[in-house]
Amino acid sequence: MSSGLRKGLPGYGDVAFSLFLRKVFIKAMGYSDDALERPIVGIANTASDYNPCHGNVPELMECVKRGVLLAGALPMAFPTISIHESFAHPTSMFLRNLMAMDTEEMMRAQPMDAVVAIGGCDKTLPAQTMAAASANLPTVLLPTGPMVVGHYRGEVLGACTDCRRLWSEFRGGRIDAAEMERISGRLAPSVGTCMVMGTASTMACVLEAMGLGLPMSATAPAVHADRKRIAEASGRCAAEMAKRGSPRPDELITADSVHNAMVVLQAIGGSTNAVIHLAAIAGRAGVEFDLDALDRVGREVPVLVDVKPSGAHYMEHLHHAGGVPALLKQLKPFLRLSARNVARGTIDDTIAQAEEVPGQNVIRILAAPLKKEGAIAVLRGNLAPRGAVIKQSAASPELKRHTGRAVVFDSIEEMAARIDAADFDVRAEDVLVLRNAGPRGEPGMPEAGSLPIPMKLARAGIKDMVRLSDARMSGTAFGTVVLHITPEAAVGGPLAVVETGDRIRLDVEARALDLLVDETEIKRRLDAWKQKPARREPVRRGYAKLFEQCVLQADQGCDFDFLLRDGRSAQS
Ligand code: FES
């Protein structure tokens, strides 16, 4: 197979001419023949003025290039789509698959023997891993790294668990608008990703544990010198992979590494969004992703990492406590130790090199966990035949077993219009239900699942209620929130026919979510639902049309059906 500059020549029908022409143009950049004969490491550049989570990408690219050159290969950076959570309408998840397609096709179209994919904000590392799995080109993931913590009036703050907590205080009338304005300047004090165990940190930790990034690459703060050294080492590592042609993603994304990802996800108090991303990554690699296996792992593996929103600390503290390698050491009894990594070693090798940090209290030992079960439980029942998830580590213990009256919102817009009305008929013991916010319903499954506590209850001091939806929730959020109900309402899941006043039972210990309505009545309602006209006009053009036609449900990772490894979907 061809390599370096000879890879993937344009189809002029004359190979020698195609290579000649390629050299003519690239020499315009001043490259020598020696440089152009080297193996090539592509560097996926996701810098954007709209993306502060990637604000250090230009600097990291320089460090990666240094590592590639030191190892005797040629670095070539190329741009891809960049997605930031707060700058992506209607929601970043709508664009994840577009980014995965862009990255995959750029990896295929341009000559490169290995890739360093630099990314961080929530959807980026998942999209890049999906792309790498499909292109099956040796790839090192390099997270941009978490922000450092902020400080306000003697309190340590971080995006965005504290954004949500303080916003709830503002809604409850306990903080005024002027103070909120001051606080907005303290929550994100540096470039980098959210510094709690949100989706970005979760995916970085999980993908490091899968061997797709170098040890400590998930946790080094974005502005720390460690981050730059890891970038240089990632460049070196990718150069070696370019020379050897391995390991390729299909050697790293395996049943064993997906199992290890589940173990780490449960132990870090990770984001529920990771369940969707892991299903999509596994789907690209042709590896089974079993929600019930994730639940079984969660019954055995406790939460060990004491980082917000499940715990008290922040990502930089996890880094200084030994990072993912030190965590893997604690989790050794649950891991498949022969799973490989980009550095040609195994998880067992990573564990052997883990740093011991005396007196650290961020990574607990198995005998004294933060929570005795894992972060995420998978629920089933007549309301979620294909499953739903709850981040039980961030839920209120007294609400984990609860039966209440359903109060239903048909859409995010309706919820926003009603939830703060003074005459809204709602009580603290009710179950708030949001539907038509799933992969097809909204579309893109926005992070609307942690519905705000209705204003009149927030002002009365209520901080949590049972809330359920077919939407997602930010990994930085907390509360008794059931998410990803599958099938979603928009495709006729039972959630579509819940009525205000119905009783709903949640029992996390029993892993049950049920609508306490007679099955024949549910069937009657579903038959009637099928006769109703569609809620919205079908989309007629562009990416939105592709999305509407091809997006899969949450249990299949919300990927497009034609992007799965075999290009087909059994259940969509
Ligand atoms: Fe980018 Fe939180 S907004 S990681």
Is the Cβ atom of 200 under 6 angstroms away from ligand 1?
yes
SS3 state at 303: strand
Q: How many CA atoms lie within 13 A of 545 on its CB side?
A: 5
Place of tokens 């061997």: 211
Q: What is the pLDDT of residue 394?
A: 87
Q: Which strands, in side-by-side order, build the sheet including 40-45?
A: 74-79, 40-45, 114-119, 139-143
pLDDT tens digits for 209-230? Answer: 999 999 999 999 999 999 999 9
38-148+190-352: CATH number: 3.40.50.2300
Ligand 1 centre from 84 Cα, in Å? 7
Strand partners, 151: 156
Q: 445: which residues sit within 8 A by CB, 6+ positions away?
A: 91, 93, 276, 437, 438, 439, 470, 471, 472, 484, 488, 554, 558
Residues with pLDDT less than 50, the chain: 570-572
Find out whether the beta carbon of 195 lies less than 6 Å from any atom of ligand 1. Answer: no
Nearest protein Cα to ligand 1, atom 1: 121
User: Could you state, in order of their start, the residue ranges of all structural domains in the chain?
Assistant: 38-148+190-352, 150-184, 376-536
pLDDT tens by residue, 131-156 = 999 999 999 999 999 999 999 999 99
Strand 466-469 relative to strand 481-483, pairing:
parallel
- Do 204 and 124 touch, CB atoms closer than 8 A? no
The pLDDT assigned to 570 comes to: 45
Contacts of 178 (CB under 8 A, 6+ apart): none
* Separation between Cα atoms, residue 398 and residue 348, nearest integer Å: 39
Smallest CA-to-CA distance from 473 within 465, 486, 483 is with: 483
- Of 121, 187, 273, 315, best ligand 1 pocket probe by most atoms within 8 Å of the beta carbon: 121
- Enumerate the β-bridge partners of residue 384: 381
Indicate the CATH number for domain 376-536: 3.50.30.80
